[in-house]
Amino acid sequence: MRPRMRICLSAALAGAGLILSGCANPSVGSDRDDPTQPVTLKFWHGWSNTAEVKAIDDSIARFEKLHPNITVKTVNNVSDATVNQALRAGGDDAPDVVSSFTTNNVGQYCSSGMWVNLDPFMKKTGVEKTKVFPKTFLDYTNYQGNQCALPLLADSYGLYYNKDAFREAGIERPPRTMSEFKRDAAKLTKRKPNGSLARAGFVPNFRLYQNSPDRLFAQWGPKYFDGEGKARLSKDPRSKQFFATQRELIAAQGGYAALEKFRTTFGDEMSSQSSFMTQKAAMHLDGEWRGLMLEEGKAKFDWGTAPLPVPDDQADTYGRGFLTGTVAGIAHSSKHQNAAWELVKFLTTDTDQVVRFANAIHNVPSTFAALKSPKLDADPAFRTFIDIARNPHSTALPPSVNGGQYVVSLQDFSYDVEAGKVPDLDRGLRELDAQIDTDNLQSVN
């Protein structure tokens, strides 16, 4: 179970050394090593939960059994900031294999040269990536043709809904279109005698938990950049449709001020006092890990999962969702790149390994074969997210040269839109595009 944490501050990205890709000066490693000779690899990853770390350690044990000449020393709970500092410094203490939860930064990993291009390694070992990985997963692990990372499990986002509340409101199934979403959200909203909210149908406010705007926007299938890498949100009519729908969802449940006030009564996202667990929200946007949390927390109501609704004029895309995931790569500074590739290949392409790891930490597998495996967790709630990951209309954020800075800009803009601080949406979107383009230009100069 590994929740995705939203990007909150551009300063955090800057502090991680992930704003100016031009600053990278990676140490030169070697791809001339013999992977059959005794070697010790250093693998740095971000997992820290006891069960997650055990799942990684079990994976390494399986790898070492297959490759008795390779010893892997792992370091857990490592941030992108720490990894990038180590790779810039180089030397014997730097990792050989690295993983990251932040797919938004793939553009910088690739463009900076700190992670090596994996295509040559795949070619010489017979890995045909388009036959192994779904296209969306390949999209968020390469930048401008440089496949410097591969998917290492994925996360997909969908809808959790309170079946008891649905039955009480006379709603037979979860909504599939945005018009049904607004209708059901209003029917599910309950108020106290004084008029304040007792339960929201769905809290669309962008500051709530996993409600980063890009996740709901994915239901429209937006295109953030044109072929030249220029921001184009203002030129895409789906941008205005998205914001209009979000504001209509807010209006249907009493308005922004009422929902924001209600939001402050929710407990921490990962606690037993979160909004869905306490039945203060009848529908909830979240990833596949939430189901396990609801089971372990012994939720006191009947609940189910479904894909998020889609725009009415794209009803045929129902089943889609937002995708992201963990990525793995090889440090450019590694002098054992062929041996490192053996580890990356095992972790990302071995079907049995991918399925066992996915089942262990309750994440979505990231290969065609693993997604179809009969050994995959058969829990119906989890299967919803498998289906979302397999849906050809599901999308991920495109990599950018300055990492996730454009997502931060979108978030800041979205906060103002939902609060009614953007009177001219067309102008606001043009200014957002200009800001994103300026940030991207600065990052390469």
**Residuewise pLDDT in 10s, the chain (445 residues):** 444 443 333 333 333 444 334 444 456 778 899 999 999 999 999 999 899 999 999 999 999 999 999 999 999 999 888 888 888 887 888 999 999 988 878 888 898 889 999 999 999 999 999 999 999 999 999 998 999 999 999 999 999 999 999 999 999 999 999 999 999 999 999 999 999 999 999 999 999 999 999 999 999 999 999 988 899 999 999 999 999 999 999 999 999 999 999 999 999 999 999 999 999 999 999 999 899 899 999 999 999 999 999 999 999 999 999 999 999 999 999 999 999 999 999 999 999 999 999 999 989 999 999 999 999 987 899 999 999 999 999 999 988 877 788 999 999 999 999 999 999 999 999 999 999 999 988 866 5
In 3-state terms, the chain is what percent helix, strand and coil (to 5)? 45, 15, 40
Give pLDDT, residue 19.
39
For residues 146 and 54, what is the distance between their CA atoms, to the nearest angstrom? Answer: 32
Give pLDDT, residue 107.
87
pTM: predicted TM-score of the whole model, two decimal places: 0.88
Beta-bridged to residue 281, according to DSSP, are 200
- What six digits make up the tokens of 254? 């009493």
For residues 83 and 46, what is the distance between their CA atoms, to the nearest angstrom? Answer: 10
CB-facing half-sphere around the CA of 190: CA atoms within 13 A: 13
Report helix angle 237-251 to 178-188, nearest 10.
20
Output 6-14 pairs: Cβ under 8 A, ≥24 positions apart: 6/210, 6/212, 6/411, 7/102, 7/104, 7/212, 7/404, 7/407, 7/408, 7/411, 8/408, 9/408, 10/405, 10/408, 13/402, 13/403, 13/404, 13/405, 13/408
Distances (CA, A) of 367 to 19, 151, 154: 31, 8, 10
Q: What is the dihedral of CA 363, 1, 401, 134, to 10 degrees?
A: 0
Side chain identity, residue 28: V
- What six digits make up the tokens of 183? 């209708």
pLDDT in tens, 168-181: 999 999 999 999 99
Report helix angle 405-418 to 237-251, nearest 10.
50
- What six digits make up the tokens of 184? 């059901």
Q: Are residues 215 and 388 in contact, defined by beta-carbon separation less than 8 angstroms?
A: no
For 218-267, give the DSSP string. GGG----B-TTS-B-GGG-HHHHHHHHHHHHHHHTTT-HHHHHHHHTT--
For residues 210 and 410, what is the distance between their CA atoms, to the nearest angstrom? Answer: 15
Pairing between β-strand 97-100 and β-strand 39-44 as defined by DSSP bridges: parallel
For residues 102 and 206, what is the distance between their CA atoms, to the nearest angstrom? Answer: 19
CB-facing half-sphere around the CA of 110: CA atoms within 13 A: 26
Distances (CA, A) of 55 to 40, 353, 364: 20, 10, 14
Average pLDDT score over the chain: 91
Give pLDDT, residue 27.
62
Can you list the domains of the chain with their CATH numbers?
10-155+323-390 (3.40.190.10), 156-317 (3.40.190.10)
Give pLDDT, residue 345.
98
| CA-closest candidate to residue 323, choices 276, 377, 366, 294 | 366
Q: Are residues 416 and 422 in contact, defined by beta-carbon separation less than 8 angstroms?
A: yes
Give pLDDT, residue 444.
64
Centroid of chain to Cα 53: 20
3-state DSSP of 76-134: CCCCHHHHHHHHHHCCCCCCCEEEECCHHHHHHHHHHCCECCCHHHHHHHCCCHHHHCC
For residues 175 and 161, what is the distance between their CA atoms, to the nearest angstrom? Answer: 10
Give pLDDT, residue 248.
97
For residues 161 and 264, what is the distance between their CA atoms, to the nearest angstrom? Answer: 21
For residues 144 and 134, what is the distance between their CA atoms, to the nearest angstrom? Answer: 18
